[in-house]
Structure 1
Amino acid sequence: MKRLCVNVCLICCMVLCALPVQAAEQKQDQRPNMIFILLDNVGKDWFRCYGSSENQTPTIDHLAYNGLRFRNCYVTPVCSTTRHMLLTGRYPFRSGWHTHHDPAIYGGGYFDWNREICFARILRDAGYNTCISGKWQINDLFDPAQKDALIEHGFQEYCIFPEGKKGHPAHKKRYWDPYVIQNGKRLDTQGKFGPDIFTDYLIEYMKTHRDKPFCAYYSTILTHIPVVHTPHNLGEELTPREQFAGMLNYSDHLIGRLVKALDELGIRDNTILFIVPDNGTDNGTDQNAEQSLGGRINGRVSGEGIYSLKEQGINMPLIINCPKLVGSERVSDDLIDAADFLPTLADLADAPLPSGVTIDGRSFAPQILDQPREEPWRPWCLTQYYKQRVVRDQRFKLYSTGEFYDLSEDPLEQHDLSGTERVKSDRATGTSHAELQAVLDSLPENAKLPWEFRSISARKIRAEEARQKEAEKSGN
């Protein structure tokens, strides 16, 4: 009996001793946290770390100068197509989402979790905790069939400006007294500024989930028009351009709050921060340089931004920062496009890519971690809008409509080289043209979705195509 009691005590001691070990093992998942910040409607023309003469982004510039920044990161020229591309890792021609569409405003088709797999679902299934804070426009969260879309896409928690159709209380209510839903419940936001709410939520989220790997998608609502005053400049008389500058500066302030929270929580060294805009600056309708919303580079106000396939509309900043994992200042010339984000996040999370799905992007996790690649990086990147596609290498850029530019000499794309003698006589020019054309020729036709795009942009495209067909018919 005495021996039995001794054995029982030994077993109990072993069990009790094992409990802290098991708890410790549960906390030994050292995979990095990830915060993916998607800024809204602001291009390189406003970032000093990319040559702008503006001075509204000191925090972001500091992160760039003490981390990794890419010189060439291609997105699409408008918000919803970029979001769909980065969330799925698939080119617009592959997914069929190649034209702007906002189901929260226009209704119709939506980001269907039965057709596409979002990176949040991949990371969630790999053991990450996932959340989204800010803007979500590619589902109508007020449609009963889509009310659980965020959960279906893999976001376990959320704090969202959902947008709503015209006449709905949520319509355009993103800034002051915003319409915000947090985990299924509408918040009381009277007197509050939307961006503050979304940042506060993320900080509390990090406090709660600091002991387990997390991925937070911060889809910001700044600096989307309309231009507004922020808490830092209330009551001041400002031009639209000054208001826009203040909005960007406030974005920078909020990113600084996130970084400070990471430091205070002791997780800064194991949290990789991504910063990228969804498309170029929305310059508004005022052609006056002093009132245009474009930033200044090389003494001139930036030209075309949103909706443009020129470099100002699609070649965006990409800044990645994590003191321990990314290291100090590095600059990369590797060509990145928005489809690369999903496989990169999955790679960093040690998560398998979904089977039976064509992922167009490639992981650039080795570049982030400053590790050698097993194979060379691809020599081109790609984007598109509707039927028009663009592919570029380090120097040259070719449109599917035929225009061909030497970006090293002509970054504003003012001198089309297609059909010129240079393409035939200059070996480097001719070789690049042939190689880029081969890439375009290898791409399939746009996939078809079981619904029609309903945005203003889509309606304009259809109207123009109808006009052209009528003109051709009349000409015959």
Structure 2
Amino acid sequence: MVNWIRLLTGGCWVQVRNFLLPYQIDRVNIFLILHDQKPNSCHFILKTFFLQSLLLSSLACFSANAQTARRPNILLIITDDHGYGDFGFTGNPHVKTPHIDELAAKSVRLTNFHVSPVCAPTRASLLTGRYHQRTGVHDTYNGGAIMATEEVTLAEILGKNGYATGIVGKWHLGDNYPFRPSDQGFKYSLVHGGGGIGQPGDFYENFIRPDSSYFDPTLAENDKKVSRKGYCSDVFTDQALTFLKSQKTDPFFLYVSYNAPHTPLQLPAKYEEMYKDLKFDSALDKQEGSPWAKMTDKDKADARKVYGMISNIDDNIGRILQELKAQKLEENTIVIFMTDNGNQQLRFNTGFRGLKATVYEGGTRVPLLISGAGLFPQNKENANFTAHIDLLPTLLEATRILLPKELKLDGKSALKHIQGKQGNASASSRTFYNAWNRGWPEPYRNAAFYSGNYKLVAADAEHANLQSFGLFDLEKDPFEKNNLICSQPQIARQLRKCLDSVYADISASPHLYPRRIILDPAHEPISILTRQDLLGNGVNAWMSDMVAGYWLVTVAKEGYYHFKSIHNKPVLKGTRQLLRVGALQRSDVLKDETSTHTFNKIFLKKGDYQIESWFDGKDGVAMPYYLEVSAGE
């Protein structure tokens, strides 16, 4: 007689000899079935001694098998304004990145990976799999860096499938309810405000320290203001390590989003010392025809600081990878490293044309490394065209999570391409749209359309003038030196038509209209309105006292509200402070020199409002940098 056990979870038969279980299972609920030689005669035998023996064996192997059966963890690391050439593994002879280089040697290196020209758009596409304009994110401030709360993020999908989710560092997709990380799927968050530490969209405590804002920063931890000691990248890494140490049972998604090496170029003395004697006088630095051969003294001084900030990041990434290993999480964790756009300052970038903010390859092509969980080959280069919009569907396929049917993505899973299980057959049919300009999208201002090997660039073009466009064959000309617009006008017209079509589709998105911050004391007791989300003409001068603009809000609960204006310096005695909320206006004459003023107990009904706040004095009209809104009698 042959003894068999059928597992409920898999429906497979496992042979048992001498009542010992030679197969690890991850559920104890099983049927015990004894088969004889006749296929149609089976019966259940539930003997006490058999059950006890079997359950003990099952429980003994349950824990180990649960670990191997668990979905893979995801560690996504992204840096800010970190160019393609800022690594040892991409050929930079100066910058020291040993930990990232070691990671590159263990990873699939995507050498044809594309992001948006600037940071907030990249982050929106990364987390949603959609072109950033569809999500409501079309700029880095100007009210254009608030992602619609209706968007479904990678964190939300993973969280609903049992993942612990956390973010440390830069969010840049909305600082107020309902647009914060906690509102978009992250169960844990430690983030700075706005698009950068010390910017006028960040906390006031950082903004007033322009020369030291990267040290001892004020941050938001799970939506509550906290102060942390240390250099910002070190602080975020410390919290990432704490997060990793807490992961014992559930799979996790940890998003480590460094704000460095974005300006201001502040760094610990140890790392500044590393590059203080760098002369940029090697043969590579003087390479004829290269953009970096034209570096000014200011460019070189900036590069020394940027390289120091990058080496600090490299050390911190080394700490994170070591902690993964120490916690025995390494084998079941997908590790991704990437940057959000090209370098902001002129320096070595392997030869790609353009810098951050442009749609040329130097602004949008960045390295991506992916490894781990037994899913990816080691030390391989992959030249398939991939983009930030592909990351969400790729990771869902890798974690065996079905894509929600209601989602309409622009990206597609690249898992099989990355694994080397699919060739380049689909490369010729791949299309991709990229664009960014300060303010609302425009059809031919800093836009690009890719189709197969060809790329159409509309830096500042006119529809009626085909010669104002650029056309490049990236397979033959990755550095975009040879404009084919005259020799291949038919291809250019075809791609322009595609660009027009995508632009028209995106322009119809309801999320392109400005987001309204919701004033709801139940979710956010104090709402801080900053210049990050200020709307109106002229708000580009967000660092100017004389800027004028307004905020759009929705009052969720009827009641009394208090409005506190905060300026970055004292306002003269006798200045009139004004506040306008919808059709209601209040004003006071300042009796003393002060940098703050509060209008108390203004009754508001539920509904939509436009808010303005300004000073009117002998020096003219100025605007506060912050407006705190709270509720109560």
Answer yes or no: is 1:199 the counterpart of 2:237. yes
Which ranges in structure 2 are unaligned for 5 or more consecutive residues?
A: 1-46, 195-199, 277-300, 462-468, 516-532, 542-633
Give the secondary structure class of the aligned counterpart of 2:113.
strand
Contact kept, 8 Å, 1:92 with 1:384, in 2: the verdict is no
Alignment counterpart, residue 99 of structure 2, candidates 31, 56, 59? 59
SS in 2 for 1:392: strand
8 Å Cα contact 1:100-1:457 kept in structure 2: no
Q: How does 1:213-224 map to 2 (within 5 A)?
A: 213-224=251-262
Please say if residues 218 and 225 of structure 2, whose CA atoms lie closer than 8 Å, have aligned partners that are also in contact. Answer: yes
SS at match of 2:417: helix
Deviations 1:51-103 (A, max 9, x none): 43433322222222321111111111111111111111111343342x2133x
Q: Percent identity?
A: 25
Residue 266 of structure 1 aligns to a residue in which SS? coil
Residue identity matched to 1:169: E
Instruction: Choose from 164, 184, 194 the match for 1:129.
Output: 164
Residue 275 of structure 1 is aligned with which of 315, 321, 337? 337
Partner of 1:149: 180
Tell me if structure 2 keeps the 8 A contact 1:100–1:455.
Answer: no
Q: Deviations over 1:407-434 (max 9, x none)?
A: 345444344321x1x216xxxxx6x546
- Say whether 1:440 aligns with 2:499: yes
In structure 1, how many angstroms separate the alpha carbons of the residues matched to 2:113 and 2:181?
27
In 1, the alpha carbon distance for the partners of 2:214 and 2:161 equals 35
User: 8 Å contact 2:433–2:499 — kept in the other structure?
Assistant: no
**Cα displacement (A) at 1:208:** 1.6
The AA in structure 2 aligned to 1:228 is Q
1:354 matched residue in structure 2:
404
Paired residues of 1:229 and 1:243 also in contact (CA < 8 A): yes
User: Residue 162 of structure 1 aligns to which amino acid in structure 2?
Assistant: G
Aligned to 2:305: 243
Shift of 1:394: 5.3
Q: Which sits farther off after the overlay, 65-74 or 370-379?
A: 370-379
TM-score normalised by length of structure 1 = 0.78
Instruction: Tell me: CA distance 1:229–1:350, structure 2 relative to 1, closer, same or farther (3 Å).
Output: same
Question: 2:431–2:449: 8 Å Cα contact kept in structure 1?
Answer: yes
> 1:47: Cα distance to partner?
2.3
Supply the AA of the counterpart residue of 1:297.
Answer: T
Q: CA shift at 1:227, angstroms?
A: 0.5
Aligned to 2:147: 111
Structure 1 residue aligned with 2:513? 450
Pair 373,71 (structure 1): closer, same or farther in 2 beyond 3 Å: closer
Q: Provide TM-score, normalisation by structure 2.
A: 0.60
Tell me: CA distance 1:38–1:109, structure 2 relative to 1, closer, same or farther (3 Å).
Answer: closer
Partner of 1:343: 393
Check conservation: 2:127, 2:154, Cα contact below 8 A: yes
Contact 2:81 2:344 (8 Å CA) reproduced: yes
CA 1:224–1:165: 2 relative to 1, 3 Å: same
Structure with the bigger percentage of strand: 2
- Structure 1, unaligned runs of 5 or more: 1-6, 284-291, 425-429, 462-476
1:134: how far off? 0.9
* Paired position in structure 1 for 2:520: none
Mapped contact 2:189–2:222 kept (Cα < 8 A) = yes
1:183 corresponding residue in structure 2: 222
- Out of 345, 348, 354, the position equivalent to 1:295 is 348
SS of the residue 2:370 aligns to: strand
Measured in 1, the distance between the counterparts of 2:84 and 2:169 equals 22
Q: Structure 2 CA distance, aligned partners of 1:48 and 1:307? A: 24
The structure with the larger Rg is 2
Which structure shows the bigger proportion of residues in helix conformation? Answer: 1
Structure 1 residues 62 and 166, CA gap change in structure 2 (3 angstroms)? closer
Q: Contact 1:29–1:212 (CA<8 Å) still a contact in 2?
A: no
CA distance in 1, matches of 2:190, 2:364: 28
Aligned residue type for 1:152: D
State the alpha-carbon separation in 2 of the partners of residues 9 and 139 from structure 1.
Answer: 61
Q: Give the equivalent residue in structure 1 for 2:376.
A: 326
- How far off is 1:48 after superposition? 3.2
Distance 1:137 1:455, change over 3 A: farther
What does residue 588 of structure 2 align with?
none
Q: Is the 8 A contact 1:134 1:198 kept in 2?
A: yes
Per-residue deviation at 1:267?
2.0
Q: Which residue of 1 aligns with 2:621?
A: none
CA distance in 2, matches of 1:229, 1:372: 43
| Shift in Å, 1:132 | 0.7
* 8 Å CA contact retained: 1:270, 1:325: no
Q: Could you tell me how far apart the structure 2 residues matched to 1:264 and 1:237 are?
A: 32
**In structure 2, how many angstroms separate the alpha carbons of the residues matched to 1:12 and 1:457?**
76
Residue range with higher mean Cα deviation, 118-127 or 322-331: 322-331
**More contact order relative to length (CA 8 Å, sep ≥ 6):** 1
Q: Following the alignment from structure 2 to structure 1, what is the Cα–Cα distance between the partners of residues 383 and 275?
A: 42
| Residue of 407, 411, 414 corresponding to 2:474 | 407
Distance 1:42 1:101 in 2: 17
Residue of structure 2 in register with 1:138 after alignment: 173
Instruction: Identify if the C-alpha distance between structure 1 residues 460 and 180 changes in structure 2 by more than 3 Å, giving closer, same or farther.
Output: closer
Paired letter, 1:49: F
Give the Cα–Cα distance (whole angstroms) in 1 for the partners of residues 86 and 535 of structure 2.
27
Equivalent in 76, 82, 86 of residue 126 of structure 2 = 86
Distance 2:379 2:385 in 1: 18
